[in-house]
């Protein structure tokens, strides 16, 4: 059966105390909304609608960047979750199948959980969980395996507040039914809002079936405050570290390694303490990431060794057995197999041929203040320490640059290029110079007395 997804993301998130819409705050390098979209995408929906409100343009832009086929419904005034769904439903006119409603601020729902909701036979299916601290969650009223209704905390009696089975917010129902039930909602409740949750009691009143599918509380973790955001990050990282280790990756000090939502690491790779992964990193098997590295948008091939204290920025591709050492920054550069860049260097907008050696302190001067330019370094070239490569520039295969050179012109294959002032030696001059310096110092002291 076809599935459509409605993701609610209109709320301001007042308690975040932020200018950024809540759903754009990030966990593991991706906005909460993107996590929700990834979770939703696992059921292969035919249609995905994101309901925007606060910060609508930015939220829509993020949604479209993640999935260009996403549709946007706008909720001008936040009058409740039921009202939000009502704004999306016109886009689903004529759609036949199941609709799953997700919240943009609930990032960790697992694909299996959504699958079991879709497999459940009832007309309305609600995802619930046993809350350690039920706090202000909506309470699920269940008797004999049937769900009778959802009572919001504000509207609940003392007896109902004792219930620990809570509403996650995820609800699935047939599209036509959902349309009818949402049309019938009213705002006569403690919040004066149109509650989506009221569709359960309405369905029951029609003699339809409603049921709860449950999942661990960790999955339904919603973000309302910055403390929640930090807790979500903690939970994500703990799960990701465990998964990495189970997949054969060594983490020397797991609690100090931070992954992005999309980090991929191959078996037998060893990751030292205090390594941070930004989005878009893939590491092949058998690589070694030494302590204190920051990696983002890069690919690291088999057997490569990176760090300690290396920074790989987007567009970096390291070939097999490449060695990148301490205090090296690389951006938008391809380093072919066996390249060594051991210390204190910057390579940006560059291609380095295989087995080239980049001496300490080498800098590709890629930016002229207006434009970026490329540097090409041929295979087995030897770049002397402290070489400044003024891009655009090419150094040929097996060529050598003298230490301290400023290379402004292309260097042919097999050539040596030296671009620095010639050294001058003046025997015996140092003693005279020091006498002169002492005299100057004495004179200054006298003047200040
Ligand atoms: C909601 C549920 C509650 C559940 C809890 C789980 C309702 C009435 N209550 O309460 O039963 O236990 O989530 O976290 O559904 N939103 C809009 N437009 C609106 C209002 C909300 O898009 O007009 C979006 C928010 O951006 C958010 C989501 O819907 O992503 C949930 O809204 P929120 O106000 O946080 O609902 P809760 O009061 O937490
Ligand atoms: Ca909430």
Q: For 109, phi and psi rounded to 5 degrees?
A: -65, 130
Cβ-Cβ contacts under 8 Å for 8 (sequence gap 6 or more): 51, 81, 84, 85, 101, 102, 103, 104, 169
Instruction: List C-alpha distances in Å: 108 to 13, 34, 37.
Output: 18, 11, 10
DSSP character string of 384-417: -TT-EEESSEEE-TT-EE-TT-EE-S-B-TT-EE
* Ligand 1 pocket, residues with Cβ under 6 angstroms: 8-11, 51, 53, 75, 78-81, 83-84, 103-105, 137-138, 150, 152, 166-169, 195-197, 222
Q: For residue 19, how many other CB atoms are within 10 A of its CB?
A: 6
Picking from 302, 301, 277, 307, the residue whose alpha carbon sits closest to that of residue 289 is 307
Instruction: List C-alpha distances in Å: 158 to 133, 136, 139, 295, 425.
Output: 15, 13, 12, 51, 93
Nearest protein CA to atom 11 of ligand 1, as residue: 138
Is the distance from CB of 82 to CB of 194 less than 8 angstroms? Answer: yes
How far apart are alpha carbons 19 and 278 in whole angstroms? 23
Please write down the HEC assignment for all residues of 168-237.
Answer: EEEEEEEHHHHHHHHHCCCCCCCCCCCCHHHHHHHHHHCCCCEEEEECCHHHHCCCCCHHHHHHHHHHHH
Active site residue 323: no
Q: For 136, phi and psi rounded to 5 degrees?
A: -105, 20
Interstrand relation of 165-174 and 124-130 (parallel, antiparallel or unpaired)? antiparallel
How far apart are alpha carbons 235 and 217 in whole angstroms? 11
Q: Ligand 1 center to residue 219 CA distance, Å?
A: 16
What is residue 8's three-state secondary structure?
strand
Nearest protein CA to atom 2 of ligand 1, as residue: 169
Ligand 1 closest atom vs CA 137: 12
Q: Which of 35, 294, 299, 343 is an active site residue?
A: 343
pLDDT digits (tens, 9 = 90+) for 116-152: 999 999 999 999 999 999 989 999 999 998 999 999 9
How far apart are alpha carbons 50 and 356 in whole angstroms? 50
Q: For 333, phi and psi rounded to 5 degrees?
A: -145, 140
Q: What is the pLDDT along the chain (449 residues), one digit of tens a residue?
A: 899 999 999 998 899 999 999 999 999 999 999 999 999 999 999 999 999 999 999 999 999 999 999 999 999 999 999 999 999 999 999 999 999 999 999 999 999 999 999 999 999 999 999 999 998 999 999 999 899 999 999 999 999 999 999 999 999 999 999 999 999 999 999 999 999 999 999 999 999 999 999 999 999 988 999 999 999 999 999 999 999 999 999 999 999 999 999 999 999 999 999 999 999 999 999 999 999 999 999 999 999 999 999 999 999 999 999 999 999 999 999 999 999 999 999 999 999 999 999 999 999 999 999 999 999 999 999 999 999 999 999 999 999 999 999 999 999 999 999 999 999 999 999 999 999 999 999 999 999 98
Respond yes or no on whether the N-terminal peptide bond of residue 209 is cis (omega within 30° of 0). Answer: no
Is the distance from CB of 11 to CB of 244 less than 8 angstroms? Answer: no
Instruction: List C-alpha distances in Å: 309 to 274, 297, 338, 343.
Output: 10, 17, 20, 10
pLDDT digits (tens, 9 = 90+) for 140-192: 999 998 999 999 999 999 999 999 999 999 999 999 999 999 999 999 999 99
How far apart are alpha carbons 389 and 392 in whole angstroms? 8
Instruction: List C-alpha distances in Å: 5 to 50, 95, 289.
Output: 8, 12, 39
What end-to-end distance do the CA atoms of the chain give, in Å? 95
Respond yes or no on whether the N-terminal peptide bond of residue 248 is cis (omega within 30° of 0). Answer: no
Picking from 447, 423, 346, 332, the residue whose alpha carbon sits closest to that of residue 388 is 346
Nearest protein CA to atom 34 of ligand 1, as residue: 11
Q: Which ligand is nearest to the CA of 76?
A: 1
């Amino acid at each position: 059966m076809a599935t459509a997804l409605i993701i609610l993301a209109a709320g301001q998130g007042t308690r975040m105390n932020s200018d950024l819409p809540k759903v754009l705050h990030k966990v593991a390098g991706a906005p909460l909304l993107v996590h929700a979209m990834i979770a939703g995408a696992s059921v292969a929906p035919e249609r995905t609608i994101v309901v925007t409100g606060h910060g609508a343009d930015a939220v829509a832009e993020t949604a479209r960047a993640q999935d260009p086929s996403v549709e946007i419904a706008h909720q001008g005034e936040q009058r409740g979750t039921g009202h939000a769904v009502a704004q999306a439903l016109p886009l689903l006119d004529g759609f036949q199948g199941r609709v799953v409603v997700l919240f943009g601020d609930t990032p960790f729902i697992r694909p299996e959980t959504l699958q079991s909701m879709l497999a459940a036979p009832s007309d309305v299916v609600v995802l619930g969980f046993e809350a350690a601290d039920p706090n202000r969650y909506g309470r699920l009223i269940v008797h004999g395996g049937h769900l009778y209704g959802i009572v919001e905390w504000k509207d609940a009696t003392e007896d109902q507040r004792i219930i620990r089975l809570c509403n996650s917010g995820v609800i699935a129902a047939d599209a036509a039914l959902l349309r009818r039930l949402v049309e019938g909602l009213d705002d006569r409740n403690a919040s004066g809002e149109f509650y989506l949750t009221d569709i359960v009691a309405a369905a029951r009143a029609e003699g339809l079936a409603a049921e709860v599918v449950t999942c661990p509380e960790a999955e339904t973790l919603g973000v309302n405050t910055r403390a929640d955001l930090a807790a979500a990050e903690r939970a994500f990282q703990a799960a990701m570290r465990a998964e990495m280790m189970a997949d054969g990756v060594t983490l020397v000090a797991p609690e100090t390694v931070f992954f992005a939502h999309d980090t991929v690491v191959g078996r037998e790779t060893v990751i030292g303490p205090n390594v941070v992964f930004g989005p878009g990193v893939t590491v092949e098997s058998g690589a070694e990431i030494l302590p204190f590295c920051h990696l983002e948008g890069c690919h690291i091939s088999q057997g490569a060794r990176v760090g300690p204290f290396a920074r790989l920025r987007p567009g970096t591709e390291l070939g097999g057995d490449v060695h990148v050492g301490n205090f090296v920054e690389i951006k938008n550069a391809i380093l072919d197999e066996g390249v060594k860049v051991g210390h204190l260097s910057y390579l940006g907008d560059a291609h380095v041929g295989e087995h080239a050696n980049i001496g300490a302190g080498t800098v590709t001067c890629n930016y002229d203040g207006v434009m970026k330019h490329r540097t090409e370094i041929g295979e087995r070239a030897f770049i002397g320490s402290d070489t400044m490569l003024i891009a655009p520039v090419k150094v040929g295969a097996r060529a050598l640059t003298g230490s301290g050179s400023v290379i402004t012109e292309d260097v042919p294959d097999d050539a040596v290029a030296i671009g620095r002032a010639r050294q001058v030696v003046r025997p015996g001059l140092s003693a005279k110079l020091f006498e002169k310096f002492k005299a100057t110092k004495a004179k200054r002291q006298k003047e200040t007395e």
